[in-house]
Amino acid sequence: MKNILITGGAGFIGSHLVRLFVNRYPEYRIINYDLLTYAGNLANLSDIQDVPNYFFEKGDICDSENVDRVLRKYEVDGIIHLAAESHVDRSITDPFCFARTNVLGTLTLLQAARNCWSRGLAGDAGRQAMEGHLFYHVSTDEVYGSLSEPGTFFTEECRYDPHSPYSASKASSDHFVRAFRDTYGLPVKISNCSNNYGPYQFPEKLIPLFLNNIRHSKPLPVYGKGENVRDWLYVMDHARAIDVIFHRGRIGETYNIGGFNEWKNIDLIKVMIRVADSLLGHPEGHSLGLITYVTDRPGHDMRYAIDSTKLKDELGWEPSLQFEEGITETIRWYLDHQEWLDNVTSGDYMNYYEKMYGGR
């Protein structure tokens, strides 16, 4: 693999993945294909924007002509697909936007990859031509639904049971990826990961939103009773897992990625308050009063927990960071990068593309 297209590379996970690949594989050309929606921020990649093996292409995954142009321009032989609408609450207010990007966008990319890599050949000849290429689809544990029994986990064999428009759209995109594998012989891999945390996450998601609010003494809106459970993984551990699966995972397979690290929301929020108050020089318990219980998210999944044994046994991947260390570093990062948060919350980051690329 020499020319790798990463979609959604200006987002939270994508920016960590692009940086990892650009620095780790100087012999590869890494092309970041991103529409720069509200969630895309090129400032996340300012440290690598001039590195010779990094390329940026602004574009929509739903725009088949442009996708086709970019695949041919760079002679792309591997795609790692992260571009998506990713926030559950937004999917509840605008489900069509999620169907467009996550379902039609993925289908558009699959079709473009197939057309380009099969060189227009049908049947076995097309399958043969596609060998050596790879379409890697990055998905989520939310496609499996919600766990009720304590001690149970999502394995790769669990049946799909999505509840939100977001998870329904991701489930649909996973199905299309497998359909292209089975129908046309497209070489694919899929991974389903649990909740990520770390720097550069858009402050609509629980951790950066709450840290920003603690900083500004604003209410912390806890959905329902705060008893929902999420399985948290440091974002760089996710990026490293993608690297391992991309290079060494078996073609056609699915791998679950998670850290065996379950937290009830309210317990995690109390950890954030304790660490943030201490770093901000506040007395212990200072921000506890900001906790505000609000109406629950409709269809709110109670518990996610990933079993990543297959990934460990087959490919030797394990999370590298203990949660206590990772969450403390993450909290410190958001408190130290108030300017990044201010740019994002004010919308200023939207001008970064014009500034860096002059609108090209």
**Residues of this chain that bind ligand DAU (CB under 6 A):** 86-88, 140-142, 194-195, 205-206, 209, 221-223, 228, 230, 265, 297, 304
How far is 85 from 7, CA to CA, in rounded Å? 12
What amino acid is encoded at 152 in this protein? Answer: T
The answer to whether residue 277 is catalytic is no
Among 3, 37, 254, 261, binds ligand NAD (CB under 6 A): 37
Residue of 144, 166, 184, 304 with catalytic role: 166
The answer to whether residue 85 is catalytic is no
Residue 273 CB burial class (10 angstroms; 0-12, 13-18, ≥19):
buried
CB 196 within 8 A of CB 319: no
Residue of 142, 174, 262, 301 with catalytic role: 142
Contact residues for 103 (Cβ-Cβ < 8 A; gap 6+): 169, 172, 173, 176
Q: Which is nearer to ligand NAD, 14 or 185 (CB)?
A: 14
Among 29, 114, 170, 189, binds ligand NAD (CB under 6 A): 170
Q: Which is nearer to ligand NAD, 40 or 187 (CB)?
A: 40
Residue of 34, 57, 60, 141 with catalytic role: 141
Q: How far is the CB of 334 from ligand DAU (least distance, A)?
A: 14
Q: Which is nearer to ligand NAD, 62 or 290 (CB)?
A: 62
Instruction: Give which of 214, 219, 198 is closest to 16, Cα–Cα.
Output: 198
Q: Which is nearer to ligand NAD, 45 or 290 (CB)?
A: 45
Q: Which is nearer to ligand DAU, 142 or 307 (CB)?
A: 142
110 binds, among ligand NAD, ligand DAU, none (CB under 5 to 8 A by kind): none
Contact range with ligand NAD by CB under 6 A, out of 22-30, 192-200, 326-334, 345-353: 192-200
The answer to whether residue 141 is catalytic is yes
Strand pairing class (229-234; 262-264): antiparallel
Q: How far is the CB of 274 from ligand DAU (least distance, A)?
A: 18
Contact range with ligand NAD by CB under 6 A, out of 56-64, 107-115, 264-272, 287-295: 56-64
Q: How far is the CB of 100 from ligand DAU (least distance, A)?
A: 17
Instruction: Give which of 321, 354, 322 is closest to 16, Cα–Cα.
Output: 321
Establish if 156 lies at the interface with ligand NAD (CB under 6 A).
no
Establish if 105 lies at the interface with ligand NAD (CB under 6 A).
yes
Q: How far is CA 109 from the centre of its chain?
A: 17
228 binds, among ligand NAD, ligand DAU, none (CB under 5 to 8 A by kind): ligand DAU
Establish if 84 lies at the interface with ligand NAD (CB under 6 A).
yes
Contact range with ligand NAD by CB under 6 A, out of 11-19, 23-31, 310-318, 333-341: 11-19
> Any idea what the Cα angle at residue 183 is, between residues 181 and 185, rounded to 5°?
45
How far is 264 from 230, CA to CA, in rounded Å? 7
Q: Which is nearer to ligand DAU, 133 or 137 (CB)?
A: 137
Establish if 62 lies at the interface with ligand NAD (CB under 6 A).
yes
60 binds, among ligand DAU, ligand NAD, none (CB under 5 to 8 A by kind): ligand NAD
Establish if 145 lies at the interface with ligand NAD (CB under 6 A).
no
Binding site for ligand NAD (CB under 6 A): 7-8, 10-14, 34-37, 39-40, 60-62, 82-84, 86, 101, 105, 138, 140, 170, 193, 195-196, 202
Active site (catalytic) residues: 141-142, 166
